[in-house]
Amino acid sequence: MWNVARSAARSLRQYRRFSAAIPGPCIVHKRGTDILHDPWFNKDTGFPLTERDRLGLRGLLPPRVISFEQQYERFMNSYRSLENNTQSEPTSVVSLAKWRILNRLHDRNETLYYRVLIDNIKDFSPIIYTPTVGLVCQNYGGLFRRPRGMYFSAKDKGEMMSMIYNWPSQQVDMIVITDGSRILGLGDLGVQGIGIPIGKLDMYVAAAGINPQRILPVMLDIGTNNQKLLKDDLYLGLRQPRLEGDEYLSIIDEFMEAAYTRWPKAIVQFEDFQMKWAFETLQRYRKRFCMFNDDIQGTAGVALAGLLGAVRAQGKPLKDFVKQKIVVVGAGSAGIGVLNMAKQAVSRMLQSSEILESNHQFWLLDKDGLITKERKNIDPAAAPYARAQGEVEGLGEGATLLDVVKKVKPHVLLGLSGVGGVFNEQVLKAMKQSDSCRPAIFAMSNPTMNAECTAVDAFKHAGENIIFASGSPFENVPLGNGKVGYVNQANNMYLFPGIGLGALLSGARLISDGMLQAAAECLASYMTEEDIKNGILFPSISSIRHITTQVGAAVVEAAVAEELAEGHGDVDPKQLSHMSKEDIVDYVARNMWYPIYNPLVHEK
């Protein structure tokens, strides 16, 4: 009998694999209230009567069966009444109330949660992702009700290999980890940074169709240097300063070994690590594991797509990118990641290393102003972008942003500084003298209050002709006479889900520059000439699932071309290599999870 059940379960699993879109049966090893309390399987009042009998649920629920559609409507109605009833409340109060209602659903019924998220992604992403997720991290102690994801602390050294088996899921496809040291532009939030991996993985489910039973948010708590948190009795993390040097690395090493021992095919995304560890860990692991750093590499691809869009918006051919003068404000993991990728694009376009020596179109500033070769203790990652002293008359080491903009007259001003308002009125007005007929202003820092400028200020001071993008969402700006200033959201959410999905479905050994470049090019070519002419550089977030399918397919194709693809499930590398472009898109789309109530079949 047991064997029959096992083999039936096996064939059911196979059936599921080939029919992602059909409501195939789902194996559950629990019965009764254990199912009702498990958000992966719970359907609330939606369990059909036959299933109630099969799973020992009869009598544990009110008799009436409510359809999925009715449950959906009921949730949306309560969400809308929350919106109506809180109109006079401060934005932060309303956002947190919205987060709470979504989070409660997440904790109770994942299928319904992900369906409402997918269908309403434009309205809900600012709640589960930036900017509200930042507020959630800041208030994590007070909001904490139930744990989500895994927590590995410095005190767990030596234990991680066994701890990893505490995670209930047999298979994990996507892991997002943080050490909480640079949460958005909010600084070191210690263990409270767990909100970021949770939000990113919600985007993986919504945009990339990663099965929520196969995601794992991870917090590596290595201490915090945030004095306020260290003094807070109710702080939930380790109350000790951050470990440094080899002590720090040994913790990350141990986690990576543990994760890959249990799930050798998982993809690991590093998120919101402070710069020194962001670069160091990327270098340390990228050849050994299938991992990437979203802040360095995901952001770079999105920014590059935006920069190429800005060239097209000026009515110029793409190869003119090499002549664009770009001022990057913020020399951290994101800013330098963008420059590294832009530099690669320039060198590909020129097919020569000539320009790489001079970097003549890039200008990099940090908190101490313009970075030149005179800079003492220059960070090795920033060094390639340091300008020669006095290259442009009047611009020396530490020159202010205003002076740089006035003298350089850049085509693009791109902020990844984490400092709200650094693109002040004077700086924005100076952008009017840009050498571009359509200057681009990218205020990419998150969350909203950390954006380098608001959309309204950008259009007001820099002119109506600008191209504008921000990391967190702003409303489009009415310009009068029926015209609107279009606000793009330049956020790595347009790429990381596709990078992860493509790496997973190709079974890539590692994530190469070529795969990342393919992702960026796919996003860059997504927009039509008409969109670009109207200042629209990125697609609407409402179509994120479609974009991610395309990006994922581009990544699979690149992995196959570079012979990095080892296959996924029953699809071997040879089959992948025989797929046409269309086949790959179809393969990716078919393997994306979509929330529906599957019939549950009990197996002991």
Ligand X SMILES: O=C(O)C[C@H](O)C(=O)O
Query: How does 241-269 read in b/e, with b if 16+ C-beta sit within 10 Å?
Result: ebbeeeebeebbebbbebbbeebebbbbb
- Applying CB under 6 A, the span of 8-16, 241-249, 295-303, 454-462 interacting with ligand NAD comes to 295-303
- Residue 419 touches which member of ligand X, Mg ion, ligand NAD, none, C-beta under 5-8 Å by kind: ligand NAD
Give least dist CB 521 to ligand X, A: 21
330 binds, among ligand X, ligand NAD, Mg ion, none (CB under 5 to 8 A by kind): ligand NAD
Site pattern 165..184 for ligand NAD (x: CB under 6 A): -----------------x-x
β-pairing, 483-485 vs 477-480, is antiparallel
The answer to whether 448 touches 472, Cβ cutoff 8 Å, is yes
**Residue the block writes with tokens 């096992």:** 6
Out of 30, 43, 98, 200, the active site residue is 200
* Segment lying near ligand NAD (by CB under 6 A), choices 216-224, 360-368, 522-530, 591-599: 360-368
Q: Is 319 helix (H, G, I), strand (E, B) or coil?
A: helix
The residue among 275 and 505 lying less far from ligand NAD, judged by its C-beta, is: 275
Residue 450 binds which entry of Mg ion, ligand X, ligand NAD, none, with Cβ cut-offs from 5 to 8 Å by kind? ligand NAD
The DSSP code for 193 is: G
Stretch that binds Mg ion, among 83-91, 247-255, 264-272, 468-476 (CB under 5 A): 264-272
The structure tokens listed for 92 are 């932060």
What is the SS3 assignment for 230?
Answer: helix
The single-letter code of the amino acid at 148 is R
Choice between 349 and 378, CB closer to ligand NAD: 378
Q: Among 113, 129, 486, 494, which one carries the catalytic annotation?
A: 129
Q: Is 295 annotated as a binding residue?
A: yes
Instruction: Mark 10-26 as b/e (b = at least 16 C-beta within 10 Å).
Output: eebeeebeeeeeeebeb
Partner touching 132 among ligand NAD, ligand X, Mg ion, none, CB below 5 to 8 Å by kind: none
Residue 435 known to bind ligand: no
Residue 418 vs 497, nearer CB to ligand NAD: 418
What is the per-residue burial (b if ≥16 Cβ within 10 Å, else e) of 163-174?
ebeeeeeeebbb
448 binds ligand NAD (CB under 6 A): no
Whichever of 173 and 295 has its CB closer to Mg ion, that residue is 295
Q: Give 105-160 as a DSSP string.
A: HHHH-HHHHHHHHHHTHHHHHHHHSTTHHHHHHHTHHHH--S--SEEEEGGGTTTH
Task: Answer yes or no: is 103 a known binding residue.
Answer: no
Residue 328 touching ligand NAD (CB under 6 A) = no
Backbone phi, then psi, for 291, in 5-degree steps? -140, 165
200 part of the active site: yes
Which is nearer to Mg ion, 109 or 491 (by Cβ)?
491
- The yes-or-no answer on residue 129 being catalytic is yes
Asked whether residue 120 is marked as a ligand-binding residue, the answer is no
304: three-class secondary structure by DSSP = helix
| Window of 7-15, 158-166, 426-434, 485-493 that interacts with ligand NAD by CB under 6 A | 485-493
491 annotated to bind ligand: yes
Dihedrals phi, psi of 28, to nearest 5 degrees: -130, 135
Binding partner selected for residue 288 from Mg ion, ligand NAD, ligand X, none, CB under the kind-specific 5 to 8 Å limit: none
Q: Does 450 bind ligand NAD (CB under 6 A)?
A: yes
d(CA 434, CA 130): 30
> Does 272 count as an annotated binding residue?
yes
Parallel, antiparallel, or unpaired: how do β-strands 440-443 and 467-470 relate?
A: parallel
What does 297 bind: ligand X, Mg ion, ligand NAD, none (CB cut-off 5 to 8 Å by kind)?
none
As a whole number of angstroms, the distance between CA 73 and CA 88 comes to 25
Q: Which is nearer to ligand NAD, 127 or 302 (CB)?
A: 302
- Give the C-alpha separation, 426 to 430, whole Å: 6
Q: How far apart are the first and last CA of the chain?
A: 11
Q: Minimal distance in Å, beta carbon 306 to ligand NAD?
A: 10
Window 282-311: residues binding Mg ion (CB under 5 A): 295
Residue closer to ligand NAD, measured from CB, 43 or 375: 375
Site for ligand NAD in 406-445 (CB under 6 A): 416-419, 422, 444-445
Q: Contact, 154 vs 221, CB < 8 A?
A: yes
151/221 Cα distance (integer angstroms):
7
Q: Binding-site residue total for ligand NAD (CB under 6 A)? A: 30
Identified binder of ligand NAD from the candidate list 471, 497, 535, 595, rule CB under 6 A: 471
Least separation in angstroms between residue 381's CB and ligand X is 17
H-type alpha helices, 401-471: 401-408, 425-430, 455-462
**CA–CA distance, 405 with 408 (Å, rounded to integer):** 5
Nearest by Cα to 199 from 578, 493, 427, 601: 493
CA 313 to chain centre: 26
Interface residues with Mg ion (CB under 5 A)? 271-272, 295
Annotated binding site, which residues? 182, 271-272, 295, 446, 491
Interface residues with ligand NAD (CB under 6 A)? 182, 184-185, 275, 295, 299, 302, 329-335, 365-367, 416-419, 422, 444-446, 450, 471, 490-492
The residues annotated with a catalytic role in the active site are 129, 200
